[in-house]
Amino acid sequence: MRAKFKVKMSILSTPSGSAIPIDAIVVADDSQGKRILNELEADGIDTSFIVVSQPQVSKGGYSTISFVIVDSQMKTRTSIYTPGYPHMVADDLPDSSLSSALDGARPVYTDGVLQEVALVVSQEAHQRSIPIVINAERHIEGLDKLLHLATYIVCSTKFPQAS
């Protein structure tokens, strides 16, 4: 049985122009990055907006990997997140690429981990009246700015409670 990758990627669209998740649109030129691209392309996802960092630029770069473990009995899930390097920054996403990527997008999704990029994309989506889904797993710096742009917020039952 083929293992399935389900990674949060930014600026992706299916052939029908459905959801565009935001977060890790940079993959390294490593074996994991190549596998991620191959899996997404096999699933019919347009990967033309994904930035592949070159080895001479990233000097040992590696791709972001996330695993989600679901316990159906306890009705819980645990995410194991290994951030990639180099991290994407807003300057990695030219206005023309962002504009093209958002054409036909509905909705935009982010967890805000790469807050600067998520904010730039969410602001543009908001101006275009594209719904924005924010996965607020926990409070992170800059999340409040994203929440003000959100159409929908997904969070744990404990998130909105005072800590």
pLDDT digit string (tens) for the chain, length 163 residues: 233 333 333 334 444 444 444 444 678 888 888 888 888 888 887 777 777 776 545 467 788 777 778 888 988 878 787 888 777 777 777 777 778 778 877 888 887 777 888 898 899 999 999 999 988 877 777 888 889 999 998 887 777 665 5
Length of the chain: 163
Q: How many structural domains are present in the chain? A: 1
Residue 106 lies inside a defined structural domain of this protein? yes
Residue 96 lies inside a defined structural domain of this protein? yes
Residue 161 lies inside a defined structural domain of this protein? no
Residue 1 lies inside a defined structural domain of this protein? no
Rounded distance between C-alpha atoms, residue 91 and residue 3, angstroms: 33
pTM: 0.66
Residue 12 lies inside a defined structural domain of this protein? no
Residue 78 and residue 95 in contact, taking contact as beta carbons nearer than 8 Å: no
Give the closest residue to 118 by CA, choosing from 5, 36, 24: 24
Structural domain boundaries, residue 96: 20-155
Residue 123 lies inside a defined structural domain of this protein? yes
Residue 2 lies inside a defined structural domain of this protein? no
Residue 163 lies inside a defined structural domain of this protein? no
CATH code of residue 130: 3.40.1190.20
